[in-house]
Each structure stands twice: as structure tokens, then as C-alpha cells.
Structure 1
Amino acid sequence: MRARERKTITILDFVIVGFPGLLPHYYGLVSVLLFFVYVFTLVGNAVFLALFVMSRSLQKPVYYCIINLAVCDVLFSTATLPKIISRYCFQDGTISFMGCFLQMFFVHYFGSVTARLLAVMAIDRYAAICFPLRYHSPLMMIIRAYPLPYCASNTIVHCCCDHIAITTLACTDREEYSYPAFIHAMIVLLGSLAVIVFSYCAFIVAVLRILSTQGRMKTFSTCSLIIIALFFLPRCFNYLSSNINIKFSTDLRLVIIMMYSLLPPMINPLIYCLRTDEVKKVLIRKLQRKK
């Protein structure tokens, strides 16, 4: 009877734990740090969006891809950070059942779009106008995960509603649902990464033909290889380790996830926007006019 009663339990909400090994007296520090990351992400991307809207000289196809990237970074951070900040600041980690799956969709959708945008930017800037953003791909992950029976724990050992973190709570065999999601993630990540590697190899060959050493260094300084590696490699490792049962500390895994999820949106405005000469000139002009 107890087994049958347990199967009829309906979960109405989930509880986001965050870092399970974090001591309570560090909660305030972590919430302040995450709040700083969120504000910095909003301000950095908002500066470029404002410059783009106010300056006709920036309204060119070459900047459309960066605009898409900035919007994705802001929406991704807005979908994930407020709830985990609330968890550590107000001890409120509860999220509704529907809200959790909605957050899961945004997490994977904006992650997929960002991967494709980075690939597009590596191939050619103008291609951002023509590149199709695929809404149905991450949506299938949600459609397959939502009807699963959730009748046991509602505690998510994660900082947001991730596909892996949610489906592990289902009272059923996870393999049938995890492998299609894993294959899709690898296609999106490794496919985009392969395009980026090919594009940068061609780019490096072209740069090496530059006679001036100073010209080479200046060109290489505009490369965003570090942020690309930070976005793709830890993600691939996270998905791979979850599916081949590589065991390591939960807190370490969450630190890796937070690193590749939060650092790129915060640093992207500096790499793709404020280091561009034309954008810097527009920003300096605006500041001088105010003075």
C-alpha cells in the first residue's frame, strides 16, 4: 500500500538547493557575488544596446549578431540568476512546477542560440542576418521531460532547472530520455565548435601572412578564443560526464556550470563590444557630449 501511495504523490513545486556543500554563513557573500555578476551583465550589455539604438553608424549588419548575443546573455541571466540569488539572500529556493520547466526551456534555448551565434560570428559577420534560430530543438527536450512521473523528491541539486537535474528526479528509467537529449546537446555544441575551430584555423593562416609582427599581435588580440573555450569545453565535459557516470564533487560540478553559464554573458560586452574601435569612438563621443 505504501508503494502505491507513494506513486500517487503529485509534485507541485521544486526546491532549488544551489551548492549543497556551502555553509550558511557564506550565503550572504554568494548572493552579493551573484547579484554583482547579474548587474554587471545587465549594465555591460545595456550599454551596447543603447549605443546601437542611439547611433546610426552602428546600425549595420556587422553588429546584428552582437546584438543577438547581448539580448541572449541578458535574457539567460534574467531567467536563471534572480531565483538563485533569492535562494541565498532570502532562503527562498521554491519554484513552481510549470515555472521550473519554463526556466529549463530558457536555459537550454538561450544556450543553443548562443552556441550558434558564436559559430556564425566565427564564419562571417553578415551571416547573422540569415542564420535561423531553431525554437523547436530545445522545446523537444521540455516536451519529453514534462510528462515524466515526478513522485519522489522535489529537491534540485543545481542552481537552476536544468534538464539533467530535473529528469534525475523522475520515478522512471532515465536512459530513454537522457540519451536523445545528450545526442542533441553534442550535435549543437560540437557542431558549432567544429565550425569555430575551422574558421579560426583559416583566420590564423591569414594572420600569419601579415608581415608586420605588430600587425599580427593586434589581430590576435581581437580573438575571443578564451571565452569560446570557456563556453564550449566545460559544457561538453558536463554532458559527457553525466552520461558516462564520471563521479566528482557536486559542488565542483556546479562551480564549472556556473562558470561557463555566467562568465561569458558578463565578459562578452568587453570582448565583442567595447574592444571594437567604432563602438569605443561612439561611446567616447556620447560621454564628451554629456560633459
Structure 2
Amino acid sequence: MVLSSNITRIHNFFILGFPGLSPSYYGPASAVLFIVYLAILVGNIFILVFVIYEKSLQKPTYLVFCHLALSDLSFGTVTLPKIVSKYWFGNSIISFYECFTQMFFVHYLGSVMSFLLMVMALDRFIAICFPLRYPVLITNNIIFALCGFAWFIPLPLMLIVIFQALSLPYCESNIITQCYCDHISITNQACGNDRKIAVIVTLCIAMFCLLVPLAFILISYVSVIIVILKISNTAGRSRILETCTPQIFITCLFYLPRCFVYITNTVGFSFSVDARILLILLYSILPAAVNPIIYCFKTQQIKHTLMKRIKTAKIGIELKIWTRN
């Protein structure tokens, strides 16, 4: 850091991770985080390849799953390698612009995920509330367009956040009390009156990216539940409810922990620094690792197709062994 005119120019940040974690646990912590990252890589790459390979799965619902898997894969790749490197190799340093780049992708991919969940809710809403019009209203091309908007809408908003944060003078500590660079951790190191403006603007953008999709998701799923309850056929009701289960699980994993943290902060309940970081890490990373499992075991067509492929592969191996003998 270089001192000039009472303003400290920060060239690097230090990723602190969990402040209360004893150095003796750095090895196990890095191993756990590395395993989680491997689960994110393997699970989400598998979903992408499996849906692309299986022509029968190239339908609107599963194409949305592909976009969600790509978002989860990207988020895990942006955040986890650095914190694993910190605990595994003691490499805590991240350059100034690298930290801002990570911050951009952290918030951008989180916002993309929120809008993709809205697209997924729209898909289920039309499929259940307007089943006869579903083939016309929801096609592969329409889903590609909607998912494209989900990737595009947060982009200019996050660029505003980044450029506004970059324009701030940084004169505080250069320690990031978090497992990755995010807006709060970085702007806490800024000084001057403009910092408050940047925080307010970012908060408004965050609320737009999270609450607008959440409002639509809640309205759509309430409508879906009302339609399901009106169905007199128990078997039909269960079958339709099954088609919504994966989407509900995925949505709850994304929103409920965030809402919990926000509500507890609003009512004045405070966490320790380590507990807060753990909560943020869990609701950021856990869905990316768990979502592929939900896709495979809670989505009937993916599960049946996967089981069929496994049985076919097993029979093929047995035939090869039999012919050799």
C-alpha cells in the first residue's frame, strides 16, 4: 500500500476467511471446500452434458435446468478456488482489480440465478394453470430468449455497482472479512461521503434483482397450489405436485436462507462474524452443490432416463463379459 495525501492506495486485498478458525483446522477446511467444489463441478457438468446428449430431455423445463447448472458452475468456479488456495497453500492475497472482478461475478451470477428461478416459475405456472396453451406459449426458442434476458438484465446493473465502487477512495484496512470479495466487504474499506451513496444504490439494485423475481415466484406458485387443490383426482394432484417439487426445493434453497439473514438483521439479532460468514457461504455455495441431486432424483423424466441409461450400460458390460468367456 502507498500513502499519498492522507489517502492509502490499496494494491492488494487479503482474504481473511473465518477469523476464528484455528490454523490447525485449515487443512480439513480446505479439504471440505475442495470436495464441495468437486461436487459442484461434477454435478453441474453432468447435468449440462446429460441434457445436451439426451434428445428426449431437450424440452423447456430441462433447458432452464441447464442454465441454472451453468450459473451454479460459474459461481462455484469464481468463489471457491481462491478460498481453497487460502487454507491449503496460505495464499490469502488477491489483487485490487481481481477482487473487483470476483465481486462483479458474485453479484452478477446471484442476480442471474434469481431471474432464472423466475423463468422456471413461469414455466410451471403456464404448464399447470394453462396446460392447453403451454405448447404454444412455452417453446424451446421462447425459453432460450427468456433465459437470455435473465443473463442480460443484471449485466448493466452490476456494471453500475462495479464502476461506482471503483470510483471510491480506499483508505481503510485491506482485509476482506469474508471467503470471497463482495460489495459489503470491499466498500467497508472505502472512505468519504460517496461510500453511503454507493451502498444505497447497490442496495436498491440488489432489492430489484431479488425481490421482483421473488414476488413473481410467490404469486405463480400460490396460483399453482390453488389449481392443484381444485383437482379432485388424488392421483392427478400428486402427479402435478411432483412436477413442481424440484422447482420448489431449488427456489427455497436460494431464497429462504437469504430471507432469514435479512429478517434477523432487521429485527436486530446479531451473529458472530464466523457464524455470519458460514451462513453466507452456505446459502451461496450449498445450492450449487445440491441442485444437480434435486434435478436427478426429484425430476421423474431425468431420473427414469438416467436409470434407463445405467441399465443399458450394465447390460452392455455383462454382454461383453459373456462374449469374452
TM-score calculated relative to the size of structure 1: 0.90
Residues 173-231 of structure 1, C-alpha deviations (whole Å, 9 max, x = no match): 32111011111111111111111111110111111123344554454454243442332
Larger radius of gyration: 2
SS of residue matched to 2:9: coil
Any conservation in 2 of the 1:189–1:236 contact (CA below 8 Å)? no
Any conservation in 1 of the 2:13–2:95 contact (CA below 8 Å)? yes
- Matched residue, 1:249: 272
Q: Distance in 2 between matches of 1:241 and 1:105?
A: 26
- Matched residue, 1:160: 180
SS of residue matched to 2:8: coil
SS of residue matched to 1:9: strand
Q: Distance in 2 between matches of 1:99 and 1:6?
A: 25
Aligned pair partner of 1:197 in 218, 222, 229: 218
| Range 135-144 or range 49-58, more displaced | 49-58
Q: Distance in 1 between matches of 2:4 and 2:49?
A: 56
Q: How does 1:115-134 map to 2 (within 5 A)?
A: 115-124=114-123, 126=138, 128-131=143-146, 132=149, 133-134=152-153
| Range 137-146 or range 224-233, more displaced | 224-233
Using the TM superposition, give the Cα deviation of residue 283 of structure 1 relative to its aligned residue in structure 2, in angstroms. 1.8
Q: Distance in 2 between matches of 1:244 and 1:182?
A: 18
Q: How does 1:22-171 map to 2 (within 5 A)?
A: 22-124=21-123, 126=138, 128-131=143-146, 132=149, 133-134=152-153, 135-171=155-191
Using the TM superposition, give the Cα deviation of residue 9 of structure 1 relative to its aligned residue in structure 2, in angstroms. 3.0
Q: Which ranges of structure 1 fall in alignment gaps of 5 or more residues?
A: none
Q: Distance in 2 between matches of 1:241 and 1:184?
A: 21
Any conservation in 1 of the 2:295–2:302 contact (CA below 8 Å)? no
In structure 2, relative to structure 1, the CA distance for the partners of 1:20 and 1:256 (3 Å cut) is same
SS of residue matched to 1:171: coil
Using the TM superposition, give the Cα deviation of residue 8 of structure 1 relative to its aligned residue in structure 2, in angstroms. 4.1
Q: Supply the RMSD in Å over aligned alpha carbons.
A: 2.3
Q: Which ranges of structure 2 fall in alignment gaps of 5 or more residues?
A: 125-137, 315-325
Q: Distance in 2 between matches of 1:71 and 1:184?
A: 23
Residue-pair matches, total: 288
| Range 265-274 or range 16-25, more displaced | 265-274
Any conservation in 1 of the 2:7–2:169 contact (CA below 8 Å)? no
In structure 2, relative to structure 1, the CA distance for the partners of 1:5 and 1:243 (3 Å cut) is farther
Q: Distance in 2 between matches of 1:243 and 1:7?
A: 35
Q: How does 1:160-239 map to 2 (within 5 A)?
A: 160-173=180-193, 174-221=195-242, 222-223=244-245, 224-236=247-259, 238=261
Using the TM superposition, give the Cα deviation of residue 38 of structure 1 relative to its aligned residue in structure 2, in angstroms. 0.9
Any conservation in 2 of the 1:16–1:87 contact (CA below 8 Å)? yes
TM-score calculated relative to the size of structure 2: 0.81
Any conservation in 2 of the 1:101–1:142 contact (CA below 8 Å)? yes
SS of residue matched to 2:94: strand
- Matched residue, 1:282: 305
Any conservation in 1 of the 2:14–2:94 contact (CA below 8 Å)? yes
Q: Distance in 2 between matches of 1:285 and 1:226?
A: 25
Q: Residue 128 of structure 1 aligns to which amino acid in structure 2?
A: I
Instruction: Using the aligned pairs only, state the percent identity.
Output: 43
Using the TM superposition, give the Cα deviation of residue 264 of structure 1 relative to its aligned residue in structure 2, in angstroms. 0.9
Q: Distance in 2 between matches of 1:169 and 1:6?
A: 17
Residues 36-74 of structure 1, C-alpha deviations (whole Å, 9 max, x = no match): 111111111111111122221122233221111000000
Any conservation in 2 of the 1:182–1:243 contact (CA below 8 Å)? no
